[in-house]
Structure 1
Amino acid sequence: MATAAESVRTAVEPTPFGADPARSVRTSITQASVERAFAILLAMAAVGLGIVDAPAVLQQLPYLHPFWGPVVALALAASFVLVGVSAFVQRIAQLAQIVCALLFLVALVTWPVTVQDAIPDTQQPWPWWFCTVGCTAAAMGFAAWRATVYTALVPAVYVVVRLSPVGGDVGLVRALLDGVYTALLSGAVLVIAVVLRRAATAVDTAQATAVRRYSLAIREHATEVERVQVDAIVHDSVLTTLLSAARADTLEAKTLAARMARNAIDHLEAAASDGPGDRTPVSLAELRTRIGDAVGALTAPVRLVPAPDGPARLPAAVADALASAALQAAVNSVQHAGGPDVTRWVRVEQQDDGVLVEVGDDGRGFDVAAIPAERLGVRRSIVERVATVGGEAQVRTAPGEGTRVVLTWTPTTETSA
């Protein structure tokens, strides 16, 4: 049974500390990135076409109502500017897209009302140049079925306008050709938008599921390790004690059974208070050497700052957590802080009765709040890893100001006892 227990311990033993495997995975497409790309593309199309076609719109103003013609044109131009601003302010992107789509539809539908004199046959009504912008804005701002209705309605209205005298009266064939062209182009944009959004939603769902399963696996792993330890104690101590007590006929046998019961209770109490796999306490010098050896194997130099050795001794589980988190912070620095010109260091020293480990660099830094939820390197491998042993991890960084990861641990009353 001892061999079986050792096999189970080996099977559930956590992997050695090191780089987060997720770091080698390329960033996947997400719904946020798709929406961001859509907003930028629409902004470029709206602002670009608005600037290019502005002279042609001004050329048709003499044929339009002196008040409503300029008002409609200026309102649509303002919506184009709002779409351009939404490329930088993502929270107003959908609002800008909806406003742009609705104002374009209003401009197209009210065209017969705003025209006073029929435009020349050689010219097209100015809303024609912005049909794609309006339909693209609808595809991005509306739900799929609303965008589909919009994409079908715009070409139909434009065909009717072109058949009317105020739209040029170009004949059925020419009007249908323009309408079919608009429908094909707008329909392609709608299909691309729907397909990419659904793919991005599927990716987001898969990532969220992976994060939940990863967290569940961590909890199950810890439970399994503890169960194996308790099973070993129960098998080796408790059951043996019960059998001895059942067979105790003499005073000496009863005394031995009582002593065995006391030892079994002590083992169970130790299992409840200590983490699985606790070993001999680790000195500050041993922790510094362990971290120094680990970061010395990285591809970029990491300087180990000299510091005086203190008398502090850490539980093995605490030393494991601090060493793992420090190495992960150093790996993050090597991967993201910059090239070989970046200075990196690790400092391990006693702080009061506890220990302080600092991993820093003078590289590019980053915005902690901007880390996506699916990225687990900092949160799981550093912050939560140290927190599980009663320590604290602080990430002090900002873009362009370097990064300092400060890990601290102070023994509690229960630990000291």
Structure 2
Amino acid sequence: MTHTWSPVDRSIGLGIALLGIAAALASIPALLAQAGQFAPWWGLLLSIPPLLLVLAAVGWFRLPAVVLRAIWIAQPAVLFLALLLSCLAWTGNGEFVPSPQSWWWDAIALSSLVLVLRIPYVLAAVIAFSAAVPLSALAFLGDIPDSVLAAGFVHCANIAVVMLVYSLRAQLVEYHRVREVTEQLRAEDERIQAASAGFEAFAREVHDEVLATFGAALLFDGEPPEELRRSASVALRSLARADGEPVTEPIELRSSDAAELIRALTAEAAPGVAVASAVTAGWVSSVAASTVGLAAAEAARNAARHAVGGSGSVLAADGTIVVTISDTGPGFDPEAIGAAHFGVRESIIRRILELDGGRVTIDSGAQGTRVVIGWNRPGE
């Protein structure tokens, strides 16, 4: 037997069944014309292969694979038996034995064997089918008419038909296999991208809380101030939750709750930066609120660190969030953000740009820095 029955085999088999039914219907006039030349039992035997093809076509996508295999073996086997007994069933007189129309169905029968047997066995079946009627004539008539012998050699050309079906099947099986591998690789790529995104989020978390605290600690000798103690506590909580899965399922928050969430995040990161809020009744995405809040917290932390304070505001309305953080520090060049500005590049800009509907603008100069972080519900 060949390898496991596949969707490709089902599709090719259905095509073979339909072609076989069409060939049988086209042969009905010739079979009726020969009805008096062959015994009735032979006609009944010859009707079995087309009936099996009808059964296969009707129940092709529902029948179990074992039943389909049985049909593809039984159909050519019965036809081969009919060919072997054709001269026994012949009732004509004289030396000439007309080639029965069933002989012209063997291409269909042999093609079906490609689905269930290895190709060497199928090629052997081609030779056997080509010799069936000549052997029948030799066994039951004692002689092989020239027309039958010539037709036997012609039917060896079914080797080309079988090889064509075999090649088509091999190409389709390979295409199906490549498509499955491609789907697996795509799923693996999505998994890797998700893991990479999680790592980047963790890197932002480490920078936002841990590295910033360590950097501040280097500036102090002796007893650390209360602000540094508070930052260390936040950093430790960040590390404690770093191995947990973040909540990514969005829910709708009241705009007032979203504003309070953002104010809480900025207050935790930089208590010295006062953030006012203006709220209009409505709903916003929890994912958007938390993402904007984390970016605003980094902006507030930068203001507290580099400008010794600052101010901010939160505007939350239905489907809209706008956060502004300002300070009067020395400023920097937003166009020259490099590796040294990981917090601005990753924790603010990239974090917001990866948020669907997010936007961010940074204006900075000698008079200070102003960061505006916004979000609008997509489609609005």
Note the C-alpha offset of 1:170. 1.4
Give the structure 1 partner of residue 122 of structure 2.
147
CA offsets 1:187-217 (integer angstroms, 9 cap, x no match): 2221122112111111121111121111211
Name the aligned partner's letter for residue 133 of structure 2.
Y
The Cα offsets for residues 123-149 of structure 1, whole Å up to 9 and x where unpaired, read as 223432322232233234544343222
Structure 1, residues 138-165: CA drift from partner, whole Å, max 9, x if none? 2345443432222222112233335556
The yes-or-no answer on 1:262 pairing with 2:236 is: no
Indicate which of 149, 154, 168 corresponds to 1:196. 168
Matched, 1:52 2:52: no
SS in 2 for 1:121: coil
Q: Could you list the per-position Cα deviations for residues 34-57 of structure 1 after superposition, in whole angstroms to 9, with x for gaps in the alignment?
A: 7425423x3343223323323433
Scaled by the length of structure 2, the TM-score of the pair is 0.55
Q: CA deviation at 1:232?
A: 3.3
Q: Which residue of 1 aligns with 2:104?
A: 129
Preserved contact between residue 109 and residue 157 of structure 1 (Cα < 8 Å) = yes
Letter in 2 for 1:265: L
- 2:72 — aligned with what? 97
Paired residue for 1:362?
none
Structure 2 segments unaligned to the other structure (5+ residues) = 1-5, 256-279, 292-317, 320-380
Q: Secondary structure at the match of 1:231?
A: helix
Aligned residues: 260
Describe how 1:158-173 pairs up with structure 2 within 5 A: 158-163=133-138, 166=141, 169-171=144-146
> Residues 317 and 34 (structure 1 numbering): CA distance in 2 closer, same or farther, change over 3 Å?
farther
Cα distance change on mapping 1:83 and 1:121 into 2, 3 Å? farther
Residues of 2 paired with 1:217 and 1:134: CA distance? 45
Which position in structure 2 is the counterpart of 1:316? 287
Q: Secondary structure at the match of 1:313?
A: strand
- C-alpha spacing 1:191/1:90, structure 2 compared with 1 (3 Å): farther
The 8 Å contact of residues 238 and 264 in structure 1, kept in 2 or not, is answered as yes
Contact 2:254 2:282 in 1 (8 A): no
Q: Which residue of 2 aligns with 1:290?
A: none
Contact 1:237 1:264 (C-alpha < 8 Å) held by counterparts: yes
Q: 1:243-392, aligned counterparts within 5 Å? A: 249-251=221-223, 253=224, 255-268=226-239, 272=244, 274=246, 311-316=282-287
**Residues 161 and 167 in structure 1, CA contact (< 8 A), matched pair in contact too:** no
CA–CA distance in 2 between the matches of 1:74 and 1:139? 22
Identical-residue share of aligned pairs (%)? 17
Does the Cα contact within 8 Å between 1:282 and 1:315 map onto a contact in 2?
A: no
Q: What RMSD over aligned residues (CA atoms) do the two structures have, in Å?
A: 4.1
Q: Which digits, 9 at most, give the CA deviation of each residue in 1:281-323, with x for residues without a partner? A: 796xxxxxxxxxxxxxxxxxxxxxxxxx974332235999xxx
Max radius of gyration: which structure? 2
Question: Greater shift after overlay, 207-216 or 46-55?
Answer: 46-55
CA contact (8 A) 2:73 2:116 kept: yes
- Aligned counterparts, 1:404-415, within 5 A: none
Q: Is the 8 A contact 1:43 1:83 kept in 2?
A: yes
Residues 43 and 87 in structure 1, CA contact (< 8 A), matched pair in contact too:
no
SS in 1 for 2:46: helix
**Residues 319/98 of structure 1: CA separation in 2 closer, same or farther (3 Å cut):** farther
Residue identity in the other structure for 1:233: E
Deviates more, 1:197-206 or 1:127-136: 127-136
3-state DSSP of counterpart to 2:98: coil
Correspondence 1:109-120 to 2 at 5 A: 109-115=84-90
Q: Contact between 1:63 and 1:116, CA under 8 Å: does it hold in 2?
A: yes
Kindly indicate whether the alpha-carbon contact (under 8 Å) linking 2:87 and 2:97 is maintained by their aligned counterparts in 1. Answer: no
Paired with 2:9 and 2:230, the residues of 1 have a C-alpha distance of 68
Q: Does the 8 Å CA contact 2:253/2:284 hold for their aligned counterparts?
A: yes
**164 and 273 in structure 1: CA distance in 2 versus 1, 3 angstrom threshold:** closer
Q: Taking CA–CA contacts closer than 8 Å with sequence separation of 6 or more, which of the two structures ends up with the larger relative contact order?
A: 1
1:60–1:319 Cα change, 3 Å: farther
Aligned equivalents of 2:236, 2:94: Cα separation in 1: 98
Q: Which amino acid aligns with 2:124?
A: V
Where do 5+ consecutive residues of structure 1 fail to align?
1-30, 284-308, 321-348, 351-417
| Distance change in 2, residues 1:216/1:87 (3 Å) | closer
After superposition, the Cα gap between the structure-2 partners of 1:143 and 1:275, relative to the gap in structure 1 and judged at 3 Å, is: same
Is the contact made by 2:8 and 2:173 (CA closer than 8 Å) also made in structure 1? no
TM-score, scaled relative to structure 1: 0.51
Letter in 2 for 1:72: L
- SS of 2:141's equivalent in the other structure is helix
Comparing 260-269 with 100-109, greater Cα deviation is found at 260-269
CA distance in 2, matches of 1:163, 1:53: 26
